[in-house]
Amino acid sequence: MAPLLCVCAALTSLTASAEGGSLADIVKRGQLTVGTEAAYEPYEFVQDGEVTGYGRDVLLLISEKLGVKLNQLNLPFQGLLPGLMTRKFDLVATSVGINEERAKRFLFTRPIGIVNSTILVRSDNDAIKSPEDLNQAVLGTQLGSSTIPIVEAFNAKLKQNGQEGYRDLRLFTAYPDVASALENKSITAAIIPSNIAAVQMRSNPGMFKDIGSIGEPKVLAWVVHPQDKEILEFVNTTLDELAASGQLNALQIKWFGAPLNLPTDGYLPDGALQ
């Protein structure tokens, strides 16, 4: 049996302390416990009172390989990384953005996902075929989102290339509101995260089309305790196996409508724990 993780002995309590740091501990307990914030559809979200999504499907395959049950705890994000350090779960399996500060304190798995700033237009819009066609378009995105500076940087690029830039940028309370504005033609194009775009296209078949993305993508991964390199190796090896077998691609198509272009190297910043 392949090696794995460590975690709490009393899995019925979130205040329990861990008993060890090996895969053998998890196998002995018969349960893999992970912390998740199920609020990032379709990566992880709640449906009919149960955690579901792409991440859970991958976790079920990992648990199956170990021969144990999956115990997935849905908790606020603010408590996940502190909880990992006190070994309340074996790993954090939620969509965590890789950044320099986190990478110096925690072990990141191989990328599990990636988010681009996707441009959606209505399917009946034949005038906009690529991001470069957004000149003089009315754009929409979420108020206060990380997408706004990406849109502004792209607008500056349009102007540097001798164009006038977008006509207007309208901000909405939530990304679903942006999609609704696109549907009723209040805006010409929606700039939203690719995972939200996948949800909207699945929920409204034939209404929208993806004409590309702007800005740099954000790479997402799961997080392991800094001392649990055996867990990291097991998860990474399993992700590699799932990618090689085509199972990972199949799950990505199921949840996102297309395979994700995940980096295999260069995703960790300088100074990252490994």
Q: For 64-91, what is each residue's pLDDT tens digit?
A: 999 999 999 999 999 999 999 999 999 9
Same-domain pairing of 138 and 226: no
Same-domain pairing of 122 and 212: yes
Same-domain pairing of 173 and 81: no
Same-domain pairing of 76 and 136: no
Domain that holds residue 38: 23-114+218-256
Contacts (Cβ under 8 Å, ≥6 apart) of 55: 36, 43, 44, 93, 94, 95, 112
| DSSP of 73-132 | EE--GGGHHHHHHTTSSSEEEEEEEP-HHHHTTSEE-S--EEEEEEEEEETT--S--SGG
CATH number, position 171 = 3.40.190.10
d(CA 193, CA 16): 36
pLDDT value for 12: 35
Same-domain pairing of 187 and 231: no
pLDDT value for 233: 96
**pLDDT over threshold 70, residue 43:** yes
pLDDT value for 6: 36
**pLDDT over threshold 60, residue 8:** no
Same-domain pairing of 37 and 173: no
Q: For 209-247, what is each residue's pLDDT tens digit?
A: 999 999 999 999 999 999 999 999 999 999 999 999 999
Same-domain pairing of 106 and 240: yes
Q: For residue 48, is it within any domain?
A: yes
Number of structural domains (the chain) is 2
